[in-house]
Amino acid sequence: MFGGKAKRIAQLEAANAALEQRATTLTEQLRRVGALEYVQLQGEIHRMRGELGQLRELHAVQVRDHEATLAAQRAEHGAELARTSARRAHELVGYEKQIEEAKRTLVPYTEEMLYQDAGLFTYHHPLADADAYKHELVAVTDRIKSMIRDKRAVHADGNFTFNNSAAQGRKMVNDWCKLMLRAYNAEAENCLRTMRAGSLHVAKTRLNRTAEAIGKLGRLLGIRISQQYQALRLQELELTADYLRKKQEEKEAERERRAQLREEAKAQAELRREIEKLEKERRHLENVQKALREKGNEEAARALQAELDAVTSGIEGLHAREANVRAGYVYVISNVGAFGPRMVKIGMTRRLVPDERVQELGDASVPFRYDTHIMFFSRDAVGLEAALHRELSDRRVNQVNLRREFFYATPEEVRDLLRKHAGEVLEYVVEPEAAEFRMSRSLPAAS
């Protein structure tokens, strides 16, 4: 469009130049032809000058239009550049955020690779479910990782040269340090995995000998496990051994509890048989007394009343003894697949094998099996269960039927309440395994 206007302007300018040339020529001719033709030539010149003025005005208008169009285009182009710049700046901020997020995500993976190179792997630690030891384990593990990250777990001489090269010497020392630390950490992990109650001395001896062997093998390069790192790994062994010892004590106490429950079950059975025997005797005495009164033998009936009262008193005493048998297991279970992560069931059982009760609950009524967070023995299981129910009374799922023992609470919240009412809780599984539920989610949907 603008090329056509420029061409038109050029044509007008050429015409203007031609007219001026013609006017000059006519003026020259006028001088030659004389006065007769002067008037005619003067008129022609006047006409041509008028036409020239019109052409100049048209040219000026077209130039102004062209400049206005160019200005508008420049303004539009500038606005578009500003919008594009703002959009690019916004996109740049988004990309920078993504880069920062990627860096934050990458750092743990980078550190994890560093730990794995050093032979420190993430695995199910023996103390992972030991709630009472969890904070100490995290503290020790963090210090172990910190020493590996800061390259303080292994000491080595820094003046070793290889092939007359200090750089090659440093690389060789670093490679040997990684290898030695990897071997040491592998032995430490084996000690933890194979440890049993009462075997702390054996595990510590194995780990100390490993550190000594590394010191001998790395003597030429001055490589040795640092004493501080060795102390941390030994502390980890001691924590694990203390937990396993308490767990063993808990198992032994569990055997005693089972024996106590068997005795109590036996006593209950004996009480029930005795109560049934006395109930039968009372019914017999009542029938005899009724028959005597029907025969008019009131004196014999009154004499029989004392015996009847004694039997009734005996029955009441046996019922009182039966009611005082309160020992049992308080259990906390959940079913993530059926009810979600914020619902638990808190109940009590007197069974000799308490897990059978949990298995029964998960057999047919729910799509997935229950996860047991704790099976806690108490000599007053009835009272402990009632105390936990009172604490969570405002969070009952079923506020009408109180025998439905489901509550809107997390396993961690119940653990804290259990500590409050029962004291120390040695082992408590906070995170449910929910194996069937998680496997079901990972499998493709049935067609």
Taking alpha carbons only, the member of 412, 414, 390 closest to residue 402 is: 390
Which helix (H) or strand (E) segment is 225 a member of?
strand 224-225
Task: For 258, list phi and psi in degrees, rounded to 5.
Answer: -60, -40
- Confidence (pLDDT) at 447: 41
pLDDT tens by residue, 83-131: 888 888 888 888 788 777 766 655 454 555 655 665 554 555 566 666 7
Distance, C-alpha 394 to centroid of its chain: 28
Strand pairing of 224-225 and 154-155? antiparallel
- % of the chain surpassing 90 pLDDT: 23
What SS3 state is found at 127?
Answer: coil
Got the DSSP string for 174-203? Answer: HHHHHHHHHHHHHHHHHHHHH--TT-HHHH
> Cα dihedral sign for 406, 408, 411, 412?
negative
Taking alpha carbons only, the member of 216, 116, 217, 221 closest to residue 168 is: 221
**One pLDDT digit (tens) per residue for the chain, 447 residues:** 555 666 767 777 787 788 778 778 877 766 665 545 666 767 777 888 887 778 788 878 888 888 888 888 888 888 888 888 888 888 888 878 877 776 665 545 455 565 566 555 455 556 666 677 778 888 888 898 888 888 888 988 767 777 778 788 888 888 888 888 888 988 998 998 888 888 889 999 999 999 999 999 888 888 899 999 999 999 999 988 888 888 887 787 777 778 667 767 776 787 788 889 999 999 999 999 898 888 888 888 888 898 999 989 988 887 776 666 677 889 999 999 999 999 999 998 877 678 888 888 887 688 999 999 999 988 888 899 999 999 999 999 988 777 789 999 999 999 999 999 988 888 899 889 888 898 888 776 544
Count of C-beta atoms within a 10 Å radius of residue 147: 18
Cα distance between residue 360 and residue 371, in whole Å: 13
- Confidence (pLDDT) at 410: 94
- Confidence (pLDDT) at 3: 59
Cα distance between residue 52 and residue 50, in whole Å: 5
- Confidence (pLDDT) at 250: 79
- Confidence (pLDDT) at 149: 86
**Cut 0.75: pTM above it:** no
- Confidence (pLDDT) at 137: 82
| Cβ within 8 Å of residue 247, ≥6 positions away | 197, 426, 427
Tell me how long the chain is: 447
Cα distance between residue 263 and residue 271, in whole Å: 12
pLDDT tens by residue, 351-365: 767 888 888 888 768
Cα distance between residue 104 and residue 193, in whole Å: 32
Cα distance between residue 264 and residue 328, in whole Å: 10
Burial class of 121 by CB neighbour count within 10 A (0 to 12, 13 to 18, 19+): exposed
Count of C-beta atoms within a 10 Å radius of residue 106: 10
Q: What share of the chain is helix, strand, coil (3-state, %, to 5)?
A: 70, 5, 20
Written as one letter, the residue type at 302 is: R
Q: 378 - beta bridge partners?
A: 328
